[in-house]
Every structure is written in structure tokens, then in C-alpha cells.
């Protein structure tokens, strides 16, 4: 039975994100199999046709992202998903989509890397997602969910933001979020017919001037104009779309900065530390771009240390250090290879900076 | 001691290793055999030690384990 008739279901993250995509009004999904993301694609293949949409298992990741480009240009809410090595392949297309000002939702169920790496959960794609990845001056809104209900909400939000700002939006999940099961209250389905019109879309030029969707401007003046316009939209995103969560930070002397699955583990660490009388808090960036620099800076003024914990060799910590500067210590603790830190591991690190 | 055995649905197993941690008899291990999604699936390394307690099946988040328990002999011997 599909999840279309029930609202609270036990689902893997991958399935929940797929169902949320359909409920968000996505009617064109293109993908290519890769573990640990497969269930998302499989769910789409089973349920997208019933929703009256298009599902295509493309011949490659590159083909899939370019199909998204086409569908989005035609005004359809479109989505693709993959895992790290596959996302690298999509980066060219993502740059084109950004350059053509097209909305598109991309889910990255991150696995260990670099190269083929492995299929275990990791956060090694933070740089790729938030600092470019593809070529040219573009930005991509990146959301880092830490639970499956949140991943579901993020898919709905990603489609809204992609349409609003006309650009690619990425959900940066990981192998754990993709594979884990949790009860999810599914969002109410959106009828694509009720979505705001897209006057720029290629819907047939009968009776009107033709629209052009392109990222190619040979004249530097013209390209400059397009780029500057896009940049001003990015500034607007930085002002309006910063999302984060603070947990027990009011009286904290040490604060953990962590996103995604690690933030979930860090919540347990906060509880353990508080039980031992250590005033520990957590700041969880939810939007990884735009990054919550200002809230981190505000916390830095009143704590001794902000410990960044990641499942990588230290990527988000660069943004934390940019925000904090010399206001507090900014140590880093990371695990590599697709390993997941335990609460005990993190608490041991916290104790080096507490008290 | 009642004897048991388990069957792992290899295509459902995601190699998370939870069953391995919770088996009180140290029966389970990773097999080194990879399924279609490339997960290293679990197998019975020490089948003779399995009591059929079912902990592994209860722990498995993906319902990949089926447990069989030997019937008690009727004559009580
Ligand atoms: S049934 Fe019990 S003893 Fe047998 S493998 Fe499972 S947990 Fe171990
Ligand atoms: S708990 Fe289930 S999914 Fe995890 S390793 Fe054991 S059999 Fe496989």
C-alpha cells in the first residue's frame, strides 16, 4: 500500500523524502541507482506514475540532472537524488541549472569518500555542497536535516525555496538518515495546479513572445547583468533564509556546533554532560548555506569554546571559525571513513574544554 | 538448552550490525558476502550456539531475520 492514504507512517529516510517530494508537487523525478540512496529512487519508480508524474531511471547521473534541467525549464517541480560520487557527476548540471535560474531539488545521501569511498554515513560533501561544487559564481541553498521527520519537512521547504529564488536547493543527508526508520507525519499533498505560475517557463509560445531559458551569454555586459541580478538574490537569501536551532545554550560554557546526524548524537551528549554538571549546549545549523554566522558569533561572546563535531576531516569548522574569529576557542573533533562518533567519544572531547 | 537457527534475508540486510551486538550467544558475524546494495550481510558464525531467543530479529530495524526454534521433545528426554 502506498503512503498516500495514511499520514503517520514508519519509513526509512529515503522513502520519506521520496514521498515528501511527491506531496510537494514534484511531477518529474530522474535518478540513477547508488547505495545508500536506492530506496528513494525505488520509491519514486513505484509511486510517481500513480501521482501522474514522470519517473525515469536515466542512463547516468549526468543524464538525470540534465533531464531535471529540461523538466524545470518547462515549469514542472523536479527532483533528483544520489549519493556522493553520483552528486559529483551532477555538479556540471547543477551549475547549468543555477546559471539558467531554474528551480530544482537535489538530495545527497552522503557516503564515505573521497572517490568511491564506501556506503557508510559521512559528511565529507559539506564543502562541495556549500562552497560551489560546480563551476562559476553560483550559490545553492543547502539544508541539513537531522531526523527523518525533519528531512521530510525539508523536502517540502526545498521545493518552495527553489521556486521562490529560482535556483537549485540541496538536502544534505547521509547514509544513516537515508537508511534509518522513524515514524513520520507526512505533510499534506500540494496540488501542482495550485502553485504560483511560472511566467518564464517554456510552455509553448503561442500568442506570446517566446521565453528563453539559457545560461549562455556571449556578451560580457549581458552576462554581468545576469550574474549581478543573481547575486542580489543570493544576498536576499542570506538575509531571509538562515535557519538554525539552539539547545541549552543560555548558560553554556561550551557549545557543540554540529549538523545532521551528528547533531542528533550531540543532543545525547548535552544530556550526559549536564548530568555531570558540565554546562554544555548545542548549536545546530539547519541551513548550511546560508550559514548561521551571526548566531554563532553571538554565542561565541559568552562561552569558552565552540567544539565543532563532524563526520569528516573538518569542513563546517571553517565556517564556525569564520564566525567566531578570536572570540572563543574553536576546537574540532571529527571521525572519518564512514565511522559514526559515539556520545562517549564526543563527551570525552567536550571535557577537554569544559571547566 | 533449546536450539535455534536464523535465516537472514540478504536483500533486506543493510549491514548495520545491531543484531550482532545484541545476540547474547555471539552467534552472528558479518559474512563478507555483499548484497545487491553492496551491504556486507550478517551470517551465523557459530550456529551451534544459537538458542533461538529471537533477540536478533527483535533488534533488526529492517525485519531481515527469521528465527526458528527446535520443538521440545514430547517425552521430556
Ligand atoms: S536467536 Fe538469539 S542466539 Fe540465535 S542468533 Fe538470534 S540473538 Fe543470537
Ligand atoms: S540488524 Fe538486520 S539489517 Fe542490521 S546487520 Fe543485522 S540483519 Fe542486517
| pLDDT tens per residue across span A157-199 | 999 999 999 999 999 999 999 999 999 999 999 999 999 999 9
Q: Is the pLDDT of residue A283 over 70?
A: yes
What pLDDT, on the 0 to 100 scale, is given for residue A319? 98
Q: What average pLDDT score do residues A89-107 get?
A: 98
Mutation target to probe the B interface, by most B beta carbons within 10 A, among A178, A179, A181, A338 is: A179
Nearest-atom number in ligand 1 for the CA of B55 is 7
Q: Looking at the complex, does the CB of residue A117 fall below 8 Å from at least one CB of chain B?
A: no
- Rounded mean pLDDT, A78-104: 98
Residues 6+ apart with CB under 8 A from A96: A66, A69, A134, A215
- Best residue among B7, B11, B15 to mutate for probing ligand 2, ranked by most atoms within 8 Å of CB: B15
Residues A297 and A337 in one domain: yes
Report the mean per-residue pLDDT for chain A.
96
Average pLDDT estimate for B11-34: 95
What's the pLDDT score for residue A4? 54
Atom of ligand 2 nearest to the CA of B18: 1
Same domain for A178 and A35: yes
Question: Which residues of chain B have a CB within 8 Å of the CB of A36?
Answer: 14, 37
- Residue A7: CB atoms within 10 A of its CB come to 11
Query: Do A255 and A182 share a domain, yes or no?
Result: no
Q: Which of A240, A257, A273 is the last residue of a domain?
A: A240
- A252: CATH: 3.40.50.920
Q: How far is B37 from chain A (nearest CA, A)?
A: 6
Look at ligand 1, atom 6, and give the residue with the nearest C-alpha.
B56
A180 vs B: CB within 8 A: yes
pLDDT for residue B8 is more than 70: yes
What is the extent of the structural domain holding A346? 244-351
Chain A: residue whose CA lies nearest to B34: A119
| A155 and A250 inside one domain | no
Q: Are residues A219 and A253 in the same domain?
A: no
Instruction: Quote the ipTM score.
Output: 0.71
**Boundary (domain end) residue, out of A206, A240, A274:** A240
pLDDT at A1: 45
Query: Are A60 and A131 contained in the same domain?
Result: yes
Q: Which residue has the higher pLDDT, A49 or A7?
A: A49
* Confidence check: pLDDT of B74 > 90: no
Per-residue cell: A177: 538518515
- Asked if the model's pLDDT at residue B36 lies above 50, the reply is yes
Phi, psi of A217 (to 5 degrees): -130, 100
User: Quick check: A346 pLDDT over 90?
Assistant: yes
Residues A282, A135 within the same domain: no
Atom of ligand 2 nearest to the CA of B16: 4
Question: Is A38 in CB contact (< 8 Å) with chain B?
Answer: yes
Residues A31, A65 within the same domain: yes
pLDDT of A3 higher than 60: no
User: Do A235 and A286 lie in a common domain?
Assistant: no
CATH 3.30.310.10 for domain B4-69: no
pLDDT average, residue stretch A222-228? 97
Q: Give me chain B's average pLDDT, please.
A: 91
Give the closest-approach CA distance of A350 to chain B in angstroms. 27
Alpha carbon nearest to ligand 2 atom 3, residue:
B13
In this structure, are A130 and A27 located in the same domain? yes
Confidence of residue A7 (pLDDT cuts 50, 70, 90): confident
CA of B64 to the centre of ligand 2 (A): 6
Q: Count of domains in chain A?
A: 2
Task: Note if the bond before A114 is cis, omega within 30 degrees.
Answer: yes
CA-atom Rg of chain B in angstroms: 13
Q: Are residues A251 and A235 in the same domain?
A: no
Percent of chain B surpassing pLDDT 70: 91
- For ligand 2, the distance from its centroid to the CA atom of residue A337, given in whole angstroms, is 20
Q: What is the mean pLDDT of residues A271-292?
A: 98
CB A174 within 8 A of CB A288: no
Q: How confident is the model at residue A146 (pLDDT cuts 50, 70, 90)?
A: very high
Subunit contact A179:B37, Cβ cutoff 8 A:
no
**Residue A187 Cα distances to A7, A149, A191, B9, angstroms:** 7, 10, 12, 32
B55: left (phi over 0), alpha (psi -120 to 50) or beta: alpha
Beta carbons of A180 and B38 less than 8 Å apart? no
The Cα A14–Cα A17 span in angstroms is 5
Domain with residue A118: its CATH number is: 3.40.50.970
Domain annotation covers residue A255? yes
Q: Where residue A37 falls among pLDDT bands split at 50, 70, 90?
A: very high
- Within-domain flag for A346: yes
Residues lining ligand 2, CB < 6 A? B 8, 13-19, 42, 59-60, 62, 64-65
Q: Give me the pLDDT at residue A6, please.
A: 65
* Residue bearing the bigger pLDDT, A214 or A4: A214
Separation of CA A176 and ligand 2 centre (Å):
14
Amino acid at each position: 500500500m502506498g503512503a498516500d492514504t495514511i499520514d503517520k507512517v514508519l519509513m526509512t529516510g529515503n522513502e520519506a523524502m521520496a514521498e515528501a517530494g511527491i506531496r510537494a508537487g514534484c511531477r518529474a523525478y530522474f535518478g540513477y541507482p547508488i547505495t545508500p540512496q536506492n530506496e528513494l529512487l525505488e520509491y519514486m519508480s513505484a509511486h510517481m506514475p500513480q501521482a501522474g508524474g514522470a519517473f525515469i531511471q536515466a542512463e547516468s547521473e549526468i543524464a538525470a540532472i540534465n533531464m531535471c534541467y529540461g523538466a524545470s525549464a518547462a515549469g514542472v517541480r523536479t527532483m533528483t537524488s544520489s549519493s556522493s560520487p553520483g552528486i559529483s557527476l551532477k555538479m556540471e548540471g547543477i551549475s547549468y541549472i543555477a546559471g539558467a535560474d531554474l528551480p530544482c531539488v537535489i538530495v545527497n545521501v552522503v557516503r564515505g569518500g573521497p572517490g568511491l569511498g564506501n556506503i557508510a554515513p559521512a559528511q565529507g560533501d559539506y564543502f562541495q555542497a556549500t562552497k560551489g561544487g560546480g563551476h562559476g559564481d553560483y550559490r545553492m541553498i543547502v539544508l541539513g536535516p537531522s531526523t527523518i521527520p525533519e528531512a521530510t519537512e525539508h523536502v517540502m521547504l526545498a521545493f518552495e525555496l527553489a521556486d521562490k529564488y529560482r535556483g537549485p536547493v540541496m538536502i544534505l543527508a547521509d547514509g544513516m538518515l537515508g537508511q534509518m526508520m522513524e515514524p513520520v507525519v507526512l505533510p499534506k499533498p500540494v496540488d501542482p495546479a495550485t502553485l504560483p505560475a511560472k511566467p518564464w517557463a517554456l510552455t509553448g509560445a503561442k500568442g506570446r513572445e517566446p521565453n528563453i531559458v539559457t545560461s549562455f551569454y556571449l556578451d560580457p555586459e549581458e552576462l554581468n547583468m545576469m550574474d549581478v541580478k543573481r547575486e542580489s538574490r543570493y544576498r536576499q537569501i542570506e538575509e531571509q533564509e538562515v535557519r538554525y536551532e539552539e539547545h541549552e545554550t543560555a548558560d553554556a560554557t561550551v557549545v557543540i556546533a554540529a549538523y545532521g546526524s551528528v547533531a542528533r548524537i550531540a543532543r545525547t551528549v548535552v544530556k550526559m554532560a549536564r548530568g555531570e554538571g558540565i554546562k554544555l549546549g548545542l548549536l545546530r545549523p539547519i541551513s548550511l548555506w546560508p550559514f548561521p554566522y551571526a548566531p554563532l558569533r553571538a554565542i561565541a561572546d559568552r562561552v569558552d569554546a565552540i567544539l565543532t563535531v563532524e563526520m569528516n576531516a573538518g569542513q563546517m569548522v571553517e565556517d564556525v571559525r569564520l564566525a567566531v574569529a578570536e572570540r572563543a576557542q574553536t576546537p574540532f573533533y571529527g571521525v572519518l571513513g564512514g565511522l559514526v562518533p559515539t556520545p562517549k567519544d564526543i563527551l570525552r572531547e567536550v571535557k577537554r574544554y569544559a571547566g | 538448552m533449546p536450539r535455534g537457527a536464523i535465516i537472514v534475508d540478504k536483500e533486506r540486510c543493510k549491514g548495520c550490525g545491531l543484531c550482532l551486538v545484541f545476540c547474547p550467544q555471539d552467534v552472528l558475524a558479518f559474512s563478507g558476502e555483499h548484497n545487491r546494495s553492496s551491504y556486507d550481510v550478517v551470517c551465523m558464525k557459530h550456529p551451534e550456539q544459537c538458542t533461538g531467543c529471537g533477540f536478533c530479529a527483535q533488534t533488526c530495524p529492517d525485519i531481515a531475520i527469521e528465527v526458528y526454534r527446535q520443538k521440545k521433545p514430547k517425552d521430556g528426554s
